[in-house]
Chains A and B, each alone.
Chain A
């Protein structure tokens, strides 16, 4: 199987999630009264689902640029932890690496860490194909929504469950790969606590907390391996 075919197969569920979500974004964007191609431009340059939906509200309220910057940084800061766990994986250099980092959405991260490149291809090419395909779905969806707006008759309600289903499937794949309950239980605990205490900030709080606790475990383990007093 070629690299592109494999990436296409792996990313198809993202298409069923990104196209209707992108369309929803495009429709809301068009309601603001701006030319449709700015929705395309935003999907090309920003490529962050939640942040773009937030932008609709900020644009409507004519928010200041500083407020836009702070809100975007706060909403997307969970991505810092994605990068932390990909440092040993993203080995390519130059523009390829820049694009991989630029396109690191929740869904791209999930596919890159849970699926494997076909035997014949280089991992970096597979990652690049996944990232570019995912962005193309988002760009197509956003453009269609902004261009056709409410003319579209096809009922896409519920189609975005494809992203939930994708996460469920990749959760099983992660389990098959690791077969250690520890990180799953830790994250389930952090997720549940964050959901109750920080509804709006659930993603950021639970991911940050999980990574901090994972680091703590790493330090405890390395201290046990190297008792105090010995070099």
Chain B
């Protein structure tokens, strides 16, 4: 198999495998979409997944060694505070991200 043939095969296998993981519940359960269990999961799974994604995003931060994740911690608090105050999603995200980029690139907490 030529190198580009191999690459193409890898891409197609990955595309198929990814689609399978995303499509399985729809293929198996599309006739049962109104089942109370699925409605229950539709209500309670999103808040649970959002909580987990937040934990996951901050999981690689080192809070023990100096600077104790100061940049991430302040950027997180800034985002939360801005959103609780003004509830303007873009503004909250821009504030946290701009601060984090500045802190990282200027070496504020190194």
Contacts and interface: CB of A to CB of B under 8 A. Distances in A.
Interface string B1-42: 001101101111111111111111110011011101111111
A227 to B, nearest CB: 17
B52 A190 contact: yes
A218 B55 contact: no
Contacts of B30: 87
A188 B93 CA distance: 22
B54 A83 contact: no
Contact of B10 (A68, A79, A202): A68
Interface of A: 9-10, 12-13, 16, 34-35, 38, 41-42, 45-48, 51-52, 55, 58-59, 62-63, 65, 68-69, 72-73, 76-91, 97, 101-102, 104, 106, 109-110, 113-114, 155, 157-159, 161-175, 177-178, 182-184, 186-188, 190-192, 195, 202-203, 206-207, 210-211, 214-215, 218, 222
Classify the interface of chain B: helix, strand, loop or mixed. helix
10 contacts: A55-B14, A65-B10, A76-B18, A80-B21, A89-B42, A159-B101, A183-B51, A184-B48, A202-B56, A203-B52
Interface of B: 3-4, 6-7, 9-26, 29-30, 32-34, 36-59, 72, 75-76, 79-80, 83-84, 87, 89-90, 92-93, 96-97, 100-105
A31 B61 CA distance: 28
A88 B34 contact: yes
Nearest to A73: B17
A155 B90 contact: no
A45 B18 CA distance: 10
Contacts of A84: 25, 29, 38, 41, 45
B101 A161 contact: yes
Contact of A90 (B26, B39, B57): B26
B44 A214 contact: yes
B25 A80 contact: yes
B89 A86 contact: no
Given A12-B90, A42-B11, A68-B14, A184 B38 contact: no
Contact of A59 (B7, B19, B42): B7
Given A82-B22, A83-B25, A114-B46, A158 B104 contact: yes
Given A82-B22, A215-B37, 7 more contacts: A13-B90, A69-B13, A76-B17, A83-B26, A86-B42, A157-B105, A171-B51
A63 B58 CA distance: 31
